[in-house]
Chains A and B, each alone.
Chain A
Amino acid sequence: MVEEVVKLSDVWVQYDGTPVLEDINLSIRRDDFLGLIGPNGGGKTTLLKLMLGLVAPSRGEVSIMGMSPEKGRKHIGYVPQHSLFDRDFPINVIEVVLTGRLSHTKPFHWYSKADREAAVEALRAVEMLDFKKRQIGMLSGGQQQRVFVARALVSEPRLLLLDEPMSSVDTPMQAEFYELLERLKQRMPIVLVSHDISAVSVYVDKIACLNRKLYYHESKELTPEDLEAAYHCPIQMIAHGVPHRVLKEHTHE
């Protein structure tokens, strides 16, 4: 039996009466590496926030390892989209990673030895241990993104969510970053949000497409109809950039 880490059943989300997500059904299993694609404003980040309990569904149910998202989220490592962070902020790499332990620590206490060891371990996992004393803004975009992955890993999560992690990573460094995710996928299921279909499709095991509705066949295949429905434009326009296996002919079984 394969354990379901995340289960969304008939989930709807509305912002001020406007539906953002409609009738979402999604199961994420223990060994999944899921790429979540879709146009901007299609609800990708909202779907992640739903799993983290930061957005409440107006209908339906979200379950994280059999728990409510509020309880389950301490088992989730989250790498948020990072366009707005202040590069000058007086904080170094290890301090950033330690903030990921705050779901395990108590207020009025300093970080424990176990917290510090976990932070060192997480930095080693992303190969950034040599930079632990460096101010965060002095790193390249790719290095910063690795630090934010370490911050997500430091709480020893059982699910990793990444929101557009490649947007701040230079193209030459992206392959290396995907290799890091390949290694991490041995340890936990991963959901990778991206708007770059072609890059994602090479590395992930399964692909879902989201634009208010979710198009997902528990596989790496999406039909041209799925993509057309999701992106609201003729399929030929986007077919160039899409590797063939994403667009392989879909037969209803």
Chain B
Amino acid sequence: MIDALLHYPFMQRALVAGILAAVACGIIGTYVVVKRMVFISGGISHASFGGIGLGYYLTQYISWMTPVYGALIFTLFSALGMGTFIRKTRLSEDTTIGIMWAVGMALGIIFIGLTPGYTPDLFSYLFGSILTVTTSDLIMMAILDVIIIAIVLSLYKELLAISFDQEFGTSLGLPTQRLYLILLCLIALTVVLLIRVVGIILIIALLTIPAATARQHTHNLTKMMLLSIVFGIVAVLGGLWISYELDLASGATIILLSAAVFAASTVFTSLRHRNRKQSEKTPAD
């Protein structure tokens, strides 16, 4: 793979894309895991398919439109919509998410059906295609990373407070609902950033597995973010390498590798716990 990296620009772009994706999913995945927003993140990422479809449809009318721009706009609105509906309606949270998840995907299918001609790279949005990432994709991913980092740095203590104890935050007069919506928008941006890397269907894995692995090794939110970026990079670059060597689908290989790392980390953590318990039982004197 080193050889390929030196010779093929598409491999270099894939490498950069992997790192940019790991940064976003490490930071935002940490919030998804500690604030238990896995299901709503699944909803936001699947609903983004509606945006892909909208993007395809609008390319006939708007020259700068692409499926990814369509996804960016649509996903931000659907995240805000879900966050608002959950609060405003009497339906339970998971029902609301389930409905919007399905509506988003259905809209995507309808828009694609209405688009004349053939949509050749549709599958790359569903299952990812890190090897076809373009330079303009990379620029957009870098911009989204910068936006995500800037917002998290500015609101770090507020986001920590509402993640730990939303009700107490409200009692302090914090705008907890607005902060929650900001968090959902950050998830939406991360989803868009990850679409090209692992595809809509597998995004939820990269939002949860690296952060869940990191959580086993630290009790500090910042360290958890940094560690899950590391686990994310290991998964994306390692998965890319394995998929290149064995000629497998890159997105799926990335996810399976990150799950394997999580499994190894779980075994390691439980062994460490058992050793600690044993050494407590037989104190060295």
A→B interface (CB under 8 Å)? 52-54, 70, 73-74, 76, 78, 80, 85-86, 88-92, 95-96, 98-100, 102-103, 105, 107-108, 110-111, 135, 151, 155
Contact = CB atoms under 8 A, between A and B. Distances in A.
Given A107-B154, A110-B157, A90 B34 contact: yes
B219 A96 contact: no
Given A89-B34, A99-B164, A151-B168, 11 more contacts: A52-B171, A53-B173, A54-B171, A85-B165, A89-B163, A90-B218, A90-B220, A99-B172, A100-B172, A102-B174, A107-B158
B221 A74 contact: no
Nearest to A110: B157
Given A85-B165, A86-B34, A91-B164, A103 B154 contact: no
B170 A96 contact: no
Interface string B173-205: 110000000000000000000000000000000
Contact of B219 (A98, A108, A135): A135
Interface string B10-52: 0000000000000000000000001010000000000000000
Contact of A90 (B165, B167, B221): B221
Contacts of A99: 157, 160-161, 164-165, 168-169, 172
Interface in B204-259: 215, 218-221, 223-224
Of B155, B158, B165, the most chain A CB neighbours within 10 A belong to B165
Leading 4 A-B pairs by shortest Cβ distance: A135-B219, A99-B161, A103-B172, A78-B171
Contacts of A54: 170-171
A103 B157 CA distance: 12
B81 to A, nearest CB: 24
A170 B220 CA distance: 28
B154 A73 contact: no
A98 B157 contact: yes
Given A99-B169, A107-B154, A92 B160 contact: no
Nearest to B153: A108
B153 to A, nearest CB: 9
Contacts of B36: 86
Contacts of B154: 107-108
A135 B155 CA distance: 22
Contacts of B221: 90-91
